[in-house]
Amino acid sequence: MRLEGKVALVTGAARGIGEAIARAFAAEGAFVYVSDIDQGNGYAVAQSLGHSASFVPLDVRSEIEWRETTEAIIQKHGKLDILVNNAGITGFEGDDVPHDPENASLEAWRSVHETNLDGVFLGCKYAIRAMRGSGTGSIINISSRSGIVGIPTAAAYASSKAAVRNHTKSVALYCAQQGMKVRCNSIHPAAILTPMWEPMLGSGPDRESNMAMFVQDTPLRRFGMPEEVAAVAVMLAADESSYITGAEINIDGGILAGSAAAPSQ
């Protein structure tokens, strides 16, 4: 029970990576606030965790909702130990508009940054304030491989995730400068099999070939699973990682390490 007695808030926890993190935290003994704008699925996830979780609706773009949510957690538990800023969008969910640097609209650009970057900024801001009372805590920001390398057809998404990567370091340094034992780290997943991939993978006989195509440049030749991201989040949330702050951890099957050359004969 590596998180026993800790109180955690996970955004975008109605499905995918956020749901996996919420479940892993609860399994390790934390009380988890499952938050999302998808109230139906978010409530179902919290209900499935029994007394270890509660659902709270939270639009990460709203400063008022961040303030009210963190104040309510402090009022009930007296502390917030862990925040996972996971909520994010690609910007082209169900949308065929271009997202390349030449043709992306300013409206689309701002919309992606409002959720992916402004939401993380607000989460960090109010988590720091909530954690100041105890002087300890762990903030975990979910960035992306796209925050390290460019993505020509997803310019806003890549830009927002790169900003999350760097803001994480600013938060880590600020908290240390303040004499607080509040750590802030980022996780950079790539090719994780979440519901986001389902429309591209399809179903039936073509699904396996589509999956193979998408991971052909991944040295491990497979998709990662949300639970594998959650395992790293547990580590960063636990006291065992008390000397890790301002760090970035890649979970990408070796993509950023380079190509996996076949052994010579």
- What is the residue whose two structure tokens read 């000397």? 243
Q: What is the DSSP string of 28-96?
A: TT-EEEEEES-HHHHHHHHHHTGGGEEEEE--TT-HHHHHHHHHHHHHHHS---EEEE-----S-TT--
Quick check: 73 and 95 in contact, CB under 8 A?
no
Name the residues annotated as catalytic: 157
Q: What is the DSSP string of 169-224?
A: HHHHHHHHHTT-EEEEEEEEE-SB--GGGHHHH-STTHHHHHHHHHTTTSTT-S-B
Quick check: 237 and 138 in contact, CB under 8 A?
yes
Comparing CA positions, the residue from 182, 174, 170 lying closest to residue 242 is: 182
In single-letter form, the type of residue at position 3 comes to: L
Q: Which two tokens stand for residue 46?
A: 């919290």
